[in-house]
Structure 1
Amino acid sequence: MILLLQYTLIFASVLMLVALGGCFSEHSGVINIGLEGIMVMGALGGALMMKFLPGTTSAPVMLLAVVLAAVALGAVYSLLLAVAAVNFKADQTLVGTAMNLLGTAAATVFVKAMNTAESVDNVSSVIQYIEAKKAFLVNIGGFEFNWFMLLALLALAASYVTLYKTRFGLRLMACGEHPQAADSVGINVYKMRYAGVLISGVLGGLGGIVYITAGVSEWKFENGVAGFGFLALAVMIFGQWKPTRIALAALLFGFFRALGNVYTGFDFLKALDLPSSVYNMLPYIISLVVLAFTSRKSRAPKAEGIPYDKGQR
């Protein structure tokens, strides 16, 4: 039971971080389908930092350096969407899809090239971080607390305050609802949309490194992030683009994802004699069912996905 709670919280943290990132982007008016690719890039940045930092690095420094590397690479990668969507008014769905394909492919090629340079016999896309991962964990009475859980909670509180209690957040949401009206009162829609996409890159990159360190001590980048970027989009939609609801949706989806890791510990689940793949599929099946019944009532930002034309009224 403790293990189920542990995995539920860590997977919920991943989904919440990435979904909050998508929430900021869409509130600014830009659909970010590329969260999957951003997660991969964030995971790559954090994994490289864990690989190359000295083993004697203290836990706080390790945590800070890994987080900074993940969010920096995630933010830089998200600039592809910002430039394409804001400056060139490209189709945001197509750009996001391309980012997902490019992210996994680029990370795989880079890691293979790096491993080959270190050893001719090693052409895998795996990065190990066995010792470095220990910096994120604290054992509390059998429960393995991960500092990323606390970061996710802080990100949730910061997102709520930013969106609803600050001038920046209100302006951001105005750009996603009625950009022409926002522009008429002096709000720079282009800058706000850049800010929304960059924030999604920061949170998506952080979600990526949290995901790959959730249960293993090495990651094969050919696997990407197993559709968690799209699952986070489902969490965001189910949560109605509101941080508190997103957190609750993340817990629900995180619970079903955690079952895939620990179902063997429950006799009544073992008695069903279902393949492990069925439990791994559960969060995706649940997302389809939930969206089928709730998407009709969803209220997305009115101007999301629509390129802003300053001359249009």
Structure 2
Amino acid sequence: MHFDPEQLRVFSALMIEGSTSRASLELRTSRSNVRRIWQNLEEQLGEPLFVTRDNGDTEPTTAARRLEREMTSLLEEVRRFEASVRKIHMNGRVLRLGADRNLFNTGHFGRVFNTLRHDPRFRISFLEVGAADGKAALEAGSCDLLFSIEGVPGRRLESRELPPMSLDVACSRDRHDSSPVQPEELANLSWSLATITEKPRALDTLRHIRKSGGGEGQLCTQHHFMRWAEDTKSAEAEAMVCVRPVSFHRLSQVMFLPLGLEAGYPMNVSYLKQHPYEFLETMVGQVDRALQSPLPTPPDGLRSGQS
């Protein structure tokens, strides 16, 4: 019986990775191609090699384990070849993330970035992309994943909602209570909403806080917010409602507390449907799970905003 190298590579990848999605990632091909080669191999052998579980993982059958034993030396050669290919890909594969600069500087996007940065299969790069240029950047291949608040419509594009960015209240460090700030407390302060989105959406968020008892707040830019955080004593505002910046621990003048209100900004990720990295959907799922997991609780005596 004749086995071509592609069949051996797919069989070896499925035995090691345990799913078509992970095997396709390692082989840099599509899941449908992995499944096609796997089914062709089963047709040649006349018996099933893998069983697919409800969660998408593949379990080798007795026939697959017998085939692995009988072809040990040949599969070892294939795996050595795969290891060499992976080394080349790890040094050369880049996943390019696009986002507006204001979004990039949030702690929420920081979790996205770190989730992907710790994946050893990629080198991660960042490209600043304005809201109006998102579709063109994706279609031109300037970035692979584009993160935005408004989303990017297009027939060639796939968009998915991620967990939204919640709002925090930045206030001076003389506050000793680390519980969430309720809207009614804002009514007693002079405060501003630091916007990272288009003005209509920011105004809607401002009105929502007002209607919830937050009093009269103002809109301000991210630049104004950062200047305020560096020197709160000289500013008129006593607090800032904001999306927590990724470098919040460096802002020693302020502490960040959750806003006790269901308010925030949505977050979307978009990518080409027919992208050379056909496993992007899997990567997006990985990011989604990371954002849904709770942030670690800081030790006693260490509040948000402290280094």
- TM-score tier, shorter chain, comes to under 0.3
Higher relative contact order (CA 8 A, sep 6+): 1
TM-score normalised over the length of structure 2 = 0.22
Rg comparison, structure with higher value: 2
Report the structure, 1 or 2, having the larger helix content.
Answer: 1
